[in-house]
């Protein structure tokens, strides 16, 4: 119990320093506030989505505690980091991806709905798909870069730096795609293609990297 509390306190400290955590928690809180203040776009029932957001934030905290405990055991020599359980590392990464999708992608999509439809108009499904595709692609790229940084024992900051070019490219496509005209349709198609290509590629490469590191 004492060890669990110490990891919980460590996780709360790291929450304030990790940009992914800050974006996830801030977007969830903002989405919850907007839901209570204005209701959800497209007539979605907030009773269905609020538990998902809360569960996503809780999952992130629990996953990070598990990861910290696993890493601490490896550093103390109680286990061998890669040969102990590569499947556990894969589970941690996949679970973290699911948690970020639940607690970041959904709120960002909803907040985008209020921003692009400020007068209570129904936000179009294609626009929501664009935001979700962009968010999923960024998360997939972050997943891959994180696996690379872990495998090659790079500093965590390097993992974020590797993600930045993908982040700027995806957000550029998303910004153009949310406009009007032929150029916007082409950007939307490029974003969908990038999302469909990057997500399975990132998952497969992450799996291979972890297996090679085992």
Q: What's residue 175's pLDDT?
A: 61
pLDDT at 50: 55
At 122 the pLDDT is 47
* 16 shares a domain with 44: yes
What integer pLDDT is reported at residue 200 of this predicted model?
75
**Shared-domain flag, residues 44 and 73:** yes
75 with 171, same domain: the answer is no
Query: What does the pLDDT read at residue 196?
Result: 75
Instruction: Give yes or no: residues 134 and 61 share one domain.
Output: no
Q: What angle do CA 52, 53, 54 make, to 5 degrees?
A: 95
Q: How many domains does the chain have?
A: 2
B/e letters for 104-139, b = 16+ CB within 10 Å, e = fewer, are bbbbbbbbbbbeeeeeeeebeeebbebbbbbbbbbb
CB-based contacts of 62, cutoff 8 Å, min separation 6: none
Q: Is the domain of 11 the same as that of 88?
A: yes
Pick the last residue of a domain from 88, 119, 150: 119
Same domain, 7 and 82: yes
Of 119, 142, 168, which one is at a domain's C-terminal end? 119
The verdict on 111 and 130 lying in the same domain is: no
Same domain, yes or no, for 87 and 164? no
The pTM of the full predicted model, rounded to 2 decimals, is 0.43
- Cβ atoms < 10 Å from Cβ of 50: 16
Write out the chain's pLDDT in tens, 214 residues. Answer: 455 455 455 555 555 556 666 666 666 666 666 665 655 554 444 454 555 555 555 655 555 555 555 555 555 555 444 444 454 555 555 555 555 555 565 566 566 555 555 554 445 556 666 666 666 676 666 666 666 666 666 555 565 566 666 666 666 666 666 666 677 777 777 777 777 777 777 777 766 666 665 4
On whether both 11 and 98 belong to a single domain, the answer is yes
DSSP 31-64: HHHHHHHH--GGG--HHHHHHHHHHHHHHHHHHH
Q: In which domain, by residue range, is 177 found?
A: 124-214
Q: What is the pLDDT of residue 162?
A: 64
115 and 128 co-located in one domain: no
Q: What is the pLDDT of residue 135?
A: 65
Indicate whether 134 and 168 sit together in one domain: yes
Select from 119, 154, 180 the last residue of a domain: 119
Q: Could you tell me if 158 and 179 lie in one domain?
A: yes
């Amino acid at each position: 119990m004492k060890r669990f509390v110490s990891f919980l306190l460590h996780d709360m400290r790291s929450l304030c320093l990790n940009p992914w955590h800050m974006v996830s928690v801030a977007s969830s809180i903002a989405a919850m506030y907007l839901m209570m203040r204005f209701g959800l776009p497209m007539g979605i029932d907030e009773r269905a989505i609020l538990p998902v957001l809360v569960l996503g934030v809780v999952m992130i905290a629990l996953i990070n505690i598990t990861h910290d405990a696993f890493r601490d055991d490896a550093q103390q020599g109680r286990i061998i980091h890669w040969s102990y359980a590569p499947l556990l590392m894969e589970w941690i990464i996949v679970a973290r991806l699911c948690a970020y999708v639940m607690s970041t992608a959904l709120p960002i999509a909803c907040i985008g709905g209020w921003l692009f439809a400020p007068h209570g108009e129904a936000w179009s499904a294609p626009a929501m798909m664009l935001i979700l595709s962009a968010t999923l692609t960024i998360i997939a790229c972050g997943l891959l870069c994180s696996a690379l940084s872990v495998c090659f024992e790079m500093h965590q900051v390097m993992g974020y730096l590797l993600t930045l070019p993908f982040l700027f490219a995806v957000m550029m496509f998303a910004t153009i795609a949310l406009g009007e005209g032929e150029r916007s349709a082409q950007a939307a198609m490029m974003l969908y293609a990038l999302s469909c290509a990057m997500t399975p590629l990132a998952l497969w490469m992450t799996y291979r990297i972890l297996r090679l590191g085992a």
